[in-house]
Chain A
């Protein structure tokens, strides 16, 4: 089955760290670019980060730049989001999303993992 499964969410104190993982299956992971998108409780969608299929090109939203790090291990079929210096406003469901080179769209999404930043 073609799917993405996120894990690693949980409750963390402000200033703390968390590492999210995304496990793809059913397709050749190294053929696709990947993104993280988040959704704060009751709010809309916010793009967080992008990584190219090779891992050489990376982009971040300004709201997380310098605090979050995206990475991937194509051999191990894994996508990661290392989140440091977490703030209350980072509280959200985090989705990983697959992006094809062409056409550019997010054609596959995971079920999401909830990150709660609170003391």
Chain B
């Protein structure tokens, strides 16, 4: 199975400031069709996970444009341009290239 590694484990942020987190995969997630099979999800406190970004860089419906995904192959980044209080939660990356999907361990975003 593909191993997904996220960093940092915890990310204290100041509202209004940018934030960035990393996700690395043990194998390339770039498929022959040119797409990176990597999604980002956020789990806010007490809630179910929800889709943020799919195929590496595409925002899901309703996701604010302060969220952006980038990267290719084995290295990916999720950025929040200006953090808001409602963005606290745990952010997970997940590879969807293989039939056995795997998640990263998560990055917990909290307000300083």
Contacts and interface: CB of A to CB of B under 8 A. Distances in A.
Interface of A: 35, 37, 44-47, 50, 59, 61-62, 95, 97, 103-107, 109-112
Interface residues of B, number: 26
A47 B95 CA distance: 11
B50 A105 contact: no
Which secondary structure characterizes the binding site on chain A? strand
Of A45, A62, A109, most buried by chain B (CB within 10 Å of CB) is A45
A37 B103 CA distance: 10
Contacts, number: 59
Interface of B: 1, 35, 37, 39, 41, 43, 48-51, 54-55, 58, 60, 90, 92, 94, 96, 99-106
Contact of B103 (A46, A103, A104): A46
